[in-house]
Amino acid sequence: MNILRSMLFVPGDSEKKLAKASNVGADALILDLEDAVAAARRPIAREMIQDYLRGADRSRSELWVRINPLDSADALRDVTAVAKARPDGIALPKCDGPHHVQQLSHYLDALEIEHGIPLGSIAICAIATETAIAPFALGQYKGAPRLRVLTWGAEDLAAALGASSNKDASGQYTPPYVLARSLCLFGAHAAGVQPLDTVTPDFRDNALLLRECEAARRDGYLGKIAIHPDQVAIINEAFTPSSAEIAHAQAIIAAFAANPDAGALSLGGKMIDLPHLKQAERILAIVASGGR
């Protein structure tokens, strides 16, 4: 399965932004029907997204759609409208747990059958920390149908908690949001799906974006969401293994291939063991996916 280094939010009712997004280089676009679109414009946004899905060059970017929360009146309207144009996936906001993924999957089952789409073609990205109850379910996503990506959100969670801010005076996330980020990472790996880091809202601060990308990749995230086209190149580069990392990973794999019965080896004067091999294989898997 392709690894998504970058997923870029694009307002579904902006013809200009939709046209520009195809040339940005994001591994995936998330055509938005939720926060970026006023309620009165959602009907036209659904039509615009359908047209975009039918005409876009999908060799450049995967095309996903963020619908409205399942407990809203718009959710079923959203998914019914866009599924017929076969998006690569649906981003599900305000996801309380795997039961919400299951509910959305049932909708998609029916819609794929209705429109002659191979069953299971449309994947799901769960945005899984935007409500107060959601973090308690982050260890329960293993086996959730269609789930491909698990990500988290700090802005909606702060609103749900009535917080005045989700960051301290130094600009660092406060403990509740560090916990949500960590649980999302653990939950994604436990479920065997891709962990995707949340947005950096200050799209003008490239240094901050790079720091957050480096920290996310260090900890085990495989990509990050962008809210502005200018963020995409930085994200892609940060989550792409360097030539030195690739060479080191290849050397680790070669060393274990030459010593298949070894549990630990010496390489370059340092001890390596099976966790190093697993990480090396992950790096080469990222390279093999070509970023997508």
Catalytic residue annotation: 273
Phi, psi dihedrals of residue 56, rounded to the nearest 5°: -75, 155
What is the number of residues in the chain?
Answer: 292
Q: Which of 188, 187, 133, 183 is nearest to 156 (CA)?
A: 133
Element (H, E) at 19: helix 15-21
Q: 207 near 181, Cβ under 8 Å?
A: no
Q: 141 near 190, Cβ under 8 Å?
A: yes
| DSSP per residue, 165-215 | -SB-TTSPBPHHHHHHHHHHHHHHHHHTSEEEB---S-TT-HHHHHHHHHH
Q: Which residue has the tokens 């601060």?
A: 205
Q: 144 near 163, Cβ under 8 Å?
A: no
Q: In the Cβ-directed half-sphere of 140, how many Cα atoms lie within 13 Å? A: 14
